Chain A
Amino acid sequence: MIADLLLAAAIAAVATGSVLARRAFTAVALFIAYGLLLSLAWVRLAAPDVAMTEAAIGAGLSGVLLLGAVRRLGPHADAPANLPPGLLLTALIGIGCAGVAAALGAAILWLPEPAPTLAPQVAAALPTTGLGNAVTGVLMSFRGLDTLLEAAVVVLAVIAVWSLAPDGGWGSAPGARQPVVGRGPLSLLARMLPPIGIVVAAHILWVGADAPGGKFQAAAILAAMWLLPWLAGLATPPRIAAPWLRMAVVAGPVLFIVVGLAGAAVEGAFLAYPPGWAKPLIKSIEVVLTASIAVALALLVMGPPEPDAPR
């Protein structure tokens, strides 16, 4: 109980600090800490799947994206900032935010106890899928459509980021070229960590059917394993015009949709798995989807292709 209170207080403190921080880098560092503390909170709430996703995506990947944004903002740090709002406006904003926060707090306390839940229905229907992890059952079967569409959103995000490419570099490698880091911790990590990371990711993916874990967490780790050598200048990313790269980004979502349409053709409903085929089909989709999401996440971190600017 004391530990939970401390954790909650720490989360609130880090969140407040992130909002109040004057320097962008401080705000991002606190945001990453916030994500990690939040994943601890999910562990305390007995939601290990959510905790892993929060740590991998919420703290890890979002943190890297934000740090990249801070670095790009660096040269423009002395750009004229917006005028601070006047006293009256500040007061109104404060009152508005306080009102929303109070209403949300009250609404949470008003929620029925015990909370209405679909968990018994999930547990009753889970055996027909052959899966042991209820979360995977929800994500890949009962609400498989949402997961499929989210995977399509990831592809859309890659297209959207590439559409922001400055003129002159279309088709070349994504992101700015990284200087080679000869020695030091980054270089060492970039050489040592990937083999271990890939094994860990494969494990997380594989146990996801029956234990906490799954594709988004595994994909985030895989993406990090690709980003490390890139950041250390040891590997150059492929050109975005490369057909295999583009195929890799979409292979998972395409397989997912094709399986869904096949379900409509054979079983009469989109994403209906034939009896006995649910688990093997779900595992196959997850393996390919993990690879696709990993490639997409890494590409999102690298950013759009840039013409080689003199540096």
Chain B
Amino acid sequence: MQATGWGALPMLAVMLPVLAMVVALPLGARRAERLTLAMLPAGLALAIGTAVAVQVGGAPVVHLLGHWSPPLGLAFRADGLAAAMLLTAAVVIGAVAIFARADFGTKAGQPERREAFAFWPLLLAVWSAINLAVVANDLFTLYVALELLTFAAMPLVCLDGSRTTMEAALRYLMFALLGSVLYLLGVALIYGACGTLDITLLARMAPDQPAVILAIVLMTVGLLAKTALLPLHLWLPPAHAGAPAAASAVLSALVIKGSFVLLLRLWFGVMAGQPMPGAAQILAGLGAAAILLGSVAALREARLKLLVAYSTVAQIGYLFLMFPLLASVAADSQVAAMAWSGGAVQAVSHAFAKAAMFLAAGIMAARFGHDRIVELGGAGRAMPVTLLTFGLAGLSLMGVPPSGGFAAKWLLLSAAIGAGQWWWALVVLGGGLLTGGYVYRVLASGLRAGEGAPDPAPIAWQRDGVALGLAVISVVLGFLPLAAFGLVQVGRLGVLP
């Protein structure tokens, strides 16, 4: 693998947040907060730069660490999917950081608080870990990325220090560590069988030894536990619903996507040579079950934040519909390209929509002092912008045109028809209806005149603004012509140039 121009951009996108996270510890809460805010424009610029370099060059951007090329050394390889995820992470982290100042900010002269001390470095750690997880090209470096992601996300869950969130965090940790162990076992087996851990080299080798197949099975199960695909989703609802709103947004939007991207790298990178249509059907079957059961759970849920968390369980299901579509057709066919884009756009648009939804739910819960859905009456009058944010994000999750969610679901639907697997198209349509159901429940309750509604207050424009901004982005993604999604096609492994 050769280093390319602009390789420093993804490298800096990973290393600057790492440096900031480490430096934040001696700086203390107040200066760590400022450092994080100062990092936001730099991180966004690096992400945009990477995306432009990938799009214009039409090839992945590669940085060889220490000039050592794989298999001896390590490489960062930012392909189109990585660039799209870098951009998503930069925007979501930026919005969450601005949103979180009200909860985790430290005023001048105020003593350092535990939550404020922890929040900012943890946010920076999530940022660097997700960036690393999408650009690293070595399976062991990716293991370190997963560890960073887990150890940053787990304390975010129990930041309020209550007993219930501690239990949720501990349960999350158990699932995540089980996933890490299985993944690491697989890494060892692959190194023993192939003598390299570089994804590009492995893809070229097209390994088919039983040890490699077993490794991929173990790693897939481990990564499913971290991605929370049904039936390994049990940790997600209490963890994502119990965390502070800002943390929930990051957890649902970004953290679970890190292990998902890694799954794509394994299935359609390392194993690009031998597609596994049978196993892929099982994965999509679990995805379909997640869509149906997660949506039904959200429909029956009495609490707003848990409803949003179950919605995440359901939306994760869509991500796995692309697997059988990609596995059953030639990698360079039109159908495969549509399925790949559909999955990638789903990952991105869900990130924006779900971050917006969790932030809106957090604003509502803070104003009402509770998040019981039936008692949200009067929200429409007291906080119209917040309810609008929730509704817009809901439209994107439903897949109503024009929205990012629509583009994703349309691409998946078309790919399912094109691949002759019409049953997945039915799942996409049914899931959209169920999503509409639970979003309607919240909106209908919020638009009712209510007794216990808080008085209209001056809108906290910063918090409402960033939440609305994220929701608008999740919708505007649908206005981009489908050709713009050509970005995520750049550098797909298994499609030989």
Contact = CB atoms under 8 A, between A and B. Distances in A.
Interface in A126-161: 141-146, 149-150, 152-153, 155-160
B193 A145 contact: no
Contacts of B114: 162-163, 165, 167, 170
B74 A143 contact: yes
A79 B11 CA distance: 49
B482 interface: no
B22 A257 contact: yes
Nearest to A144: B66
A104 B26 contact: no
B192 A115 contact: yes
B22 A118 contact: no
A167 B158 CA distance: 13
B122 A159 contact: yes
Contacts of B159: 163
A9 interface: no
B26 A247 contact: yes
Given A107-B210, A110-B210, A162 B64 contact: no
Interface stretch (A31-39, A201-209, A264-272): A264-272
Contacts of A271: 65-66
Contact of A106 (B63, B74, B111, B210): B210
B441 interface: no
Contact of B113 (A100, A103, A108, A170): A170
B21 interface: yes
A44 B28 CA distance: 47
A254 B151 contact: no
Contact of B11 (A104, A156, A158, A270): A270
A110 B63 CA distance: 35
A123 to B, nearest CB: 11
B118 interface: yes
Contact of B194 (A116, A145, A158): A116
A24 interface: no
A107 B67 contact: no
Interface of A: 100, 103-104, 106-108, 110-112, 115-118, 121-122, 125, 141-146, 149-150, 152-153, 155-160, 162-167, 170-171, 241, 243, 246-247, 249-250, 253-254, 257-258, 260-261, 263-264, 267-273
User: Considering the complex of A and B, which 6 residue pairs feature the smallest CB-CB distances, nearest first?
Assistant: A116-B195, A163-B118, A246-B26, A107-B211, A271-B66, A163-B155
Given A111-B211, A163-B117, A257-B22, 10 more contacts: A100-B218, A104-B214, A118-B195, A142-B73, A145-B74, A145-B141, A149-B145, A163-B115, A249-B25, A270-B15
